[in-house]
């Protein structure tokens, strides 16, 4: 294949698409709530509109489903923040995709995450 790059997927776990009722509250300030796109035992991703306020210093997340907190204060680390915008319009906020990796969880958090994935997932990606 001349001239094309092959993308290597380094994920250890399959992504699971989440229902539209699943959100992450980004910490430390609790002021930013985003809908999850997908999740796995290793991490999750979400999309957001870039309003020049890049997401910095996210240290933990809580995950809500159907208005209930199902996971609280899970330590996370940003893996990537890339453009997801297909729009060509200038001057408008751009859609971005942010991916995060779960850091060390308690056994209770890990069990709750496993339950969330098993019971609330739409399908594997």
**71-111: pLDDT as tens digits:** 999 999 999 988 887 776 676 778 889 999 999 999 999 99
The whole-number pLDDT of residue 125 equals 45
Please name the residue that has the structure tokens 């779960």: 102
Mean pLDDT of 58-64: 93
The whole-number pLDDT of residue 3 equals 47
**Cβ neighbours of residue 51 closer than 8 Å, sequence gap 6 or more:** 93
CATH code, 16-120: 2.40.10.220
**Range 108-114 contact pairs with CB under 8 angstroms and sequence separation of 24 or more:** 109/71, 109/72, 109/74, 110/41, 112/70, 112/71, 113/39, 113/41, 113/71, 113/74, 114/41
Q: What percent of the chain has pLDDT over 70?
A: 78
Report whether 74 contacts 63 (CB < 8 A).
yes
pTM confidence score: 0.79
């Amino acid at each position: 294949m001349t001239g094309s790059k092959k993308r290597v997927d380094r994920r250890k776990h399959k992504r699971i698409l989440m229902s539209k009722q699943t959100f992450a509250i980004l910490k430390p300030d609790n002021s930013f709530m985003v809908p999850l796109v997908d999740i796995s035992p290793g991490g999750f991703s979400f999309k957001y509109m870039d309003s020049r306020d890049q997401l910095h210093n996210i240290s933990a997340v809580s995950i809500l489903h159907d208005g209930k907190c199902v996971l609280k204060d899970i330590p996370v680390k940003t893996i990537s923040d890339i453009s997801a915008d297909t729009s060509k319009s200038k001057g408008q906020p751009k859609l971005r995709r942010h991916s995060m990796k779960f850091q060390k969880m308690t056994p209770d958090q890990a069990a709750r995450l496993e339950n969330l994935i098993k019971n609330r997932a739409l399908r594997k990606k």
